[in-house]
């Protein structure tokens, strides 16, 4: 009885091995060959986009495709919106100047003048403190 079971197990694994080898050979034969790599053409046009403000100052150079109505926040916290794109040149205008908003808040008539009415970031709820988590990327600019 032991001999019959050993023969069946050997037959099963032999068939399994034959099926696997056949599948591998068919896969190798039927897979299309990859096209050869093209050499880099150094005379080809640049693949980056230069974004300028309406005065012609460079705001950003990026390899990301840029479209109209895209938004960009600079490292000086100025919020731009792309108004036109032509080839690898784009023009943006200021949507919001966050620096001026911060100056307004820091002025005596701003938010800090009413600090007694400020709501604390963490409050106590039922005797337990609630935690507040802030996530930031340590990057000085972001692209929206």
Residue 64 domain flag = yes
User: Which letter, b or e, does each residue of 60-72 get, where b requires 16 or more Cβ atoms within 10 Å of its Cβ?
Assistant: beeeeebeeebeb
Residue 9 domain flag = yes
Residue 42 domain flag = no
Residue 34 domain flag = no
Could you list the residue range(s) of the whole structural domain that residue 95 is in? 49-99
- Give just the sign of the alpha carbon dihedral 91, 94, 99, 102: negative
Residue 75 domain flag = yes
Backbone phi and psi for residue 80, each to the nearest 5 degrees, phi listed first: -105, 155
Residues 55 and 94 in one domain: yes
Q: What total number of domains does the chain contain? A: 2
Would you state the pLDDT for residue 31?
A: 86
Per-residue pLDDT of the chain (144 residues; tens, 9 = 90+): 588 889 999 999 999 999 999 999 999 999 888 777 766 565 666 578 899 998 999 998 988 888 899 998 888 888 999 999 998 899 999 987 655 545 555 555 555 555 555 555 555 555 565 555 555 566 654 443
Residues 57 and 94 in one domain: yes
Residue 17 domain flag = yes
In this prediction the pTM is: 0.41
Residue 13 domain flag = yes
Residues 16 and 55 in one domain: no
Would you state the pLDDT for residue 120?
A: 57
Residue 66 domain flag = yes
User: Which of 64, 80, 99 finishes a domain?
Assistant: 99
Would you state the pLDDT for residue 142?
A: 46
Which residues, including other chains, have CB under 8 Å from residue 113's CB and lie 6 or more apart?
107
Would you state the pLDDT for residue 128?
A: 60
Would you state the pLDDT for residue 143?
A: 45
Residues 91 and 55 in one domain: yes
């Amino acid at each position: 009885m032991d001999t019959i079971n050993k023969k069946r197990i050997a037959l099963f694994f032999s068939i399994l091995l034959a099926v696997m080898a056949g599948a591998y050979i068919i896969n190798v034969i039927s897979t299309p060959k990859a096209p050869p790599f093209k050499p880099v053409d150094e005379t080809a046009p640049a693949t980056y986009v230069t974004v300028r403000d309406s005065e012609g100052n460079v705001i950003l150079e990026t390899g990301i495709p840029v479209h109209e109505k895209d938004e960009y926040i600079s490292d000086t916290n100025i919020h731009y919106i792309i108004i036109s794109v032509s080839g690898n040149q784009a023009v943006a205008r200021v949507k919001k100047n966050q620096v001026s908003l911060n100056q307004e808040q820091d002025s005596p008539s701003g938010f800090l003048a009413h600090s007694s009415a400020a709501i604390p970031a963490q409050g106590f709820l039922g005797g337990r403190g609630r935690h507040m988590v802030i996530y930031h990327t340590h990057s000085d600019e972001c692209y929206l």
